[in-house]
Amino acid sequence: MSACPISNSRKTNGRTTPNLAYLLRDFLREQAGRRFALGQHDCGLIIADWIERVTGRDPAAPVRGRYHDEASLIALAGPLGLPRLFDRLLREAGLMRTDDPQLGDVAILSVMGTDPRGAIRTASGYVMAAPEGLAGIRNLKGVRVLQAWALSG
């Protein structure tokens, strides 16, 4: 599938987001029927698939097919852990860190003190891969954004 760049028809908080909401809606509909499986459909790969859909660059290319369970994922992440691996891969794909994630941006969250999970910012909160497809987070109380990256500057 080819990339679908963000165009310049409407500004929201300094970002151009014309059809991004529709693109995200369609992407999430496609992802909703997929079952969670490490190395195939997980919180990191859903982010990478989304970024690839929008930018044409796959930030997970260096790690795809290199893990299939928690032990192999932890080994791949190394001693600095998953947040550092996410940061390195996303920066190499051209994303910049942001303190104010907007629609379509990606983040690592801790929800009510859980282990960090990758998520995509939606108009009403965040969405992430879950055992039965996707999980949405609308009530952001108890959600801590550990790191976030903007799709565009």
48-75: pLDDT as tens digits: 999 999 999 999 999 999 999 999 999 9
* pLDDT given for residue 94 in this prediction: 93
135-149: pLDDT as tens digits: 998 888 889 899 999
Section 99-114 average pLDDT: 92
Nearby residues of 13 by Cβ (< 8 Å), 6 or more positions away: 100, 102
CB atoms within 10 A of CB 57: 15
Q: Is the pTM of this model over 0.75?
A: yes
How high is the mean pLDDT of the chain? 86
What domains, with CATH codes, occur in the chain? Answer: 16-150 (3.90.1720)
* pLDDT given for residue 72 in this prediction: 96
| Closest alpha carbon to 50 in 34, 65, 68 | 34
* pLDDT given for residue 49 in this prediction: 97
Section 68-84 average pLDDT: 93
Residue 83's Cβ-count burial label (10 Å; 0-12, 13-18, 19+) is middle
